[in-house]
Amino acid sequence: MAVTILTMIVASVLTVTQTELKRLLAYSSIANAGFILIGVIAAKSAGLSSTMFYLVSYGFSTLGAFAVISLARNTADEEDTEISRWAGLGRRAPLVAATLALFLLAMAGIPLTSGFISKFVVFQAAMSDGGAVLVVVGVISSAIAAFAYIRIIVMMYFTDPPADPPHVRTPSALTAAAVAAGVAVTVLLGIAPQPLLDLANQAGLFLR
């Protein structure tokens, strides 16, 4: 339990301190590993099924986010991943900004996204196994990390762009497919999660 708590808290705090998007997502992944451990600790079928659901949900959101980030390029045609460079992107490339915002909202666990459902089922499994402390720590960690995600969204929509903003390249077929898959799963699991939850529950019963 101590490892899970430290993983969530420390990684969430480090997520807030990042100034580069890929490093932010890397620390976010570590924090989310803590949420996955919550499901593992709740070693019942509900814990296993919630863990599987979380892996699918977070995996597609992260895949989509990395794909979107790869589209911003500097003058040397290299990936431009400094957070400050994404300021004002909502005005210059509204579709790209909106797509990244969707993935960030999912990572923050905002309702109507897959991230909200995945966190809910993990917390529900923990509560059913007497893990109230883990749930409280998980909620606090989510709130800390959410600050980092919301800050990026605010910067994209409510901050003036830099003097030499990055250009957004046309995505390749593979990148477009990754983004489309991420968006589809993030939205569908946010509004209609039951089919995957049922499948995960059946798998959890089998693995148990």
Per residue in 147-172, pLDDT tens?
A: 999 999 999 999 999 888 899 999 99
Pair of tokens at residue 189: 């699991």
CA torsion through residues 109, 40, 189, 7, sign: positive
Element (H, E) at 17: helix 2-17
**Residue 37, phi then psi, degrees to nearest 5:** -65, -30
Q: Taking residues 108-114, what's their average pLDDT? A: 95
| pLDDT digits 0-9 by tens, 38-69 | 877 766 656 678 888 999 999 999 999 999 99
**Residue 164, phi then psi, degrees to nearest 5:** -125, 75
In contact, 115 and 107? CB cutoff 8 Å = yes
pTM above 0.75, yes or no: yes
pLDDT for res 47: 64
